[in-house]
């Protein structure tokens, strides 16, 4: 079965209870169906360039709003992931063939046609590739720089687990403006939510980015509503700050299908606000915490705020 692409592999033991019906979404998390002239234009440009987006693959609730504004998160290295995280709706299996050498140029062309001021580049996990796709990330960054010199670039990378140390260094050397890698959840839930990853490895990855290039913004995010406690979320914040992470995102987990990890509860907007206040108090430069927050949601506006926050912090030290 693993040799057949686009086969979704789910293991019941990794899901809390696959037979439990999904909870009804509260009013504060409902969104309109995708539509509009901008949405259609964005979709057509992506189709013409044969690009995959995490917006579609992961079933993001904000796809209508973002695409209508001409914003999309490009997902490189194909649409099949070698991991099987129980929160994620991206297809899992064994990808066929290597990486497309022409993809970086197509991504750059799409960024140019969409007129993006800020772009987010992410990928599936490719444990079948020696460097985890690091060189492909670097090539994509450079292709965008060459074609769209004024566009700021944010990467949302895999963890490069079991790759040589030079894999991370290759991506950082390509000089993205923001290096993002999501911790996704609290460490106690990793065995059932993110079994192929290691919490402290991901944390160390982000810390290492700052050691290589202290000027680079680092970013990470978690989902809530998976069964975590408030105290465990606050501890993750402390861990992130110890790793000198600048930007934190916190959003509500939404169960893609009945076979995925169940929603333990829907966190209220008031609770998200309290997380935002706590995170800012711990020293993050920027925090985005709301039910619909996702890593790349309003990423361009958040990058501007991130720059302003750093300048203010620097000026206060003088």
Q: Does the predicted TM-score (pTM) go above 0.75?
A: yes
* % pLDDT > 70, the chain: 79
Check residue 92 and report its DSSP letter.
Answer: B
What are the angstrom distances between the C-alpha of 249 and each of 19, 38, 311? 30, 26, 21
pLDDT at 204: 97
What does the pLDDT read at residue 154? 95
Residue 6 has a CB neighbour count (10 Å cut-off) of 10
Task: Look at residue 35 in the predicted model and tell me its pLDDT.
Answer: 52
Average pLDDT of the residues in 5-24: 46
Which H or E element spans position 245? none
Q: What is the pLDDT of residue 197?
A: 96
The mean per-residue pLDDT over the stretch 260-284 comes to: 96
Residue 277 or residue 13, greater confidence: 277
Tokens describing residue 20: 């439990």
Residue predicted with more confidence, 24 or 60 = 24
- Given a contact cutoff of 8 angstroms between Cβ atoms, the answer to whether 172 and 212 are in contact is yes
Query: What is the phi/psi pair of residue 153, to 5°?
Result: -120, 130
> In this structure, are strands 52-53 and 73-76 parallel, antiparallel, or unpaired?
antiparallel
Beta strands per DSSP E along the chain: 52-53, 73-76, 118-123, 152-156, 178-180, 217-224, 247-252, 286-289
Helix axes 269-281, 230-242, angle to 10 degrees: 30
Paired tokens of 110 = 């799409």
Give residue 56's pLDDT band: very low, low, confident or very high (50, 70, 90): low
Q: Which residues of 31-45 are buried (b: 16+ CB within 10 A; e: fewer)?
A: eeebeeebbeebbeb
CB 95 within 8 A of CB 78: yes
- What is the residue whose two structure tokens read 């290589």? 212
Q: Is the pLDDT of residue 110 over 80?
A: yes
Average pLDDT of the residues of the chain = 85
Q: What is the pLDDT of residue 1?
A: 28
Mind listing the pLDDT tens digit for each residue in 175-218?
Answer: 999 999 999 999 999 999 999 999 999 999 999 999 999 999 99
What domains sit in the chain, N to C, each tagged with a CATH number?
33-317 (3.20.20.70)
Strand partners, 223: 251
Task: Between 281 and 12, name the one with better pLDDT.
Answer: 281
Both tokens of residue 211?
């050691």
- Contact between 217 and 178 (Cβ < 8 Å): yes
Confidence check: pLDDT of 54 > 60: no
Residue 127's φ and ψ, nearest 5 degrees, are -70, -10
Q: Residue 5: what pLDDT?
A: 31
User: Residue 51 has what pLDDT?
Assistant: 62
Give the DSSP H or E segment for 207: helix 199-212
Predicted confidence at residue 261, as pLDDT, reads 93
pLDDT, residue 181, reads: 97
In this structure, what token pair is assigned to residue 51? 């690009």
Q: To which residue do tokens 């309109």 refer?
A: 32
**Which of the four pLDDT bands, split at 50, 70 and 90, describes residue 241?**
very high
Mean pLDDT of 248-272: 93
At 256 the pLDDT is 85
Residue 7 or residue 252, greater confidence: 252
């Amino acid at each position: 079965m693993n040799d057949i692409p686009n086969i979704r592999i789910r293991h019941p033991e990794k899901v809390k209870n696959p037979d439990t019906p999904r909870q009804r979404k509260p009013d504060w998390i409902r969104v309109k169906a995708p539509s509009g002239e901008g949405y259609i234009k964005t979709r057509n440009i992506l189709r013409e360039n044969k690009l995959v987006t995490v917006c579609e693959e992961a079933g993001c609730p904000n796809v209508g709003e973002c695409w209508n504004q001409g914003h999309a998160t490009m997902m490189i290295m194909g649409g099949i992931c070698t991991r099987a995280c129980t929160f994620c709706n991206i297809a899992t299996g064994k990808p066929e063939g290597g990486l497309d050498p022409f993809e970086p140029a197509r991504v750059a062309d799409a960024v140019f046609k969409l007129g993006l001021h800020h772009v987010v580049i992410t990928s599936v996990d490719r444990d079948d590739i020696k460097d985890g796709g690091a060189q492909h990330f670097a090539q994509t960054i450079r292709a965008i720089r060459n074609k769209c010199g004024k566009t700021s670039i944010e990467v949302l990378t895999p963890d490069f687990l079991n790759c040589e140390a030079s894999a991370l260094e290759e991506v950082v050397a390509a000089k993205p403006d923001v290096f993002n890698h999501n911790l996704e959840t609290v460490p106690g839930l990793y065995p059932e939510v993110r079994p192929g990853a290691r919490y402290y490895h991901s944390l160390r990855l982000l810390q290492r980015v700052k050691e290589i290039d202290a000027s680079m913004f680092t970013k990470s995010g978690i989902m809530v509503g998976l069964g975590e406690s408030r105290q465990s979320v606050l501890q993750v914040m402390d861990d992130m700050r110890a790793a000198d992470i600048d930007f934190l995102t916190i959003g509500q987990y939404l169960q893609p299908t009945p076979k995925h990890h169940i929603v333990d509860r829907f966190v209220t907007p008031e609770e998200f606000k309290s997380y935002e206040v706590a995170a800012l108090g711990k020293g993050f430069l920027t925090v985005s915490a709301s039910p619909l927050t996702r890593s790349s949601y309003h990423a361009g506006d958040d990058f501007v705020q991130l720059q302003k926050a750093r300048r203010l912090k620097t000026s206060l030290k003088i």
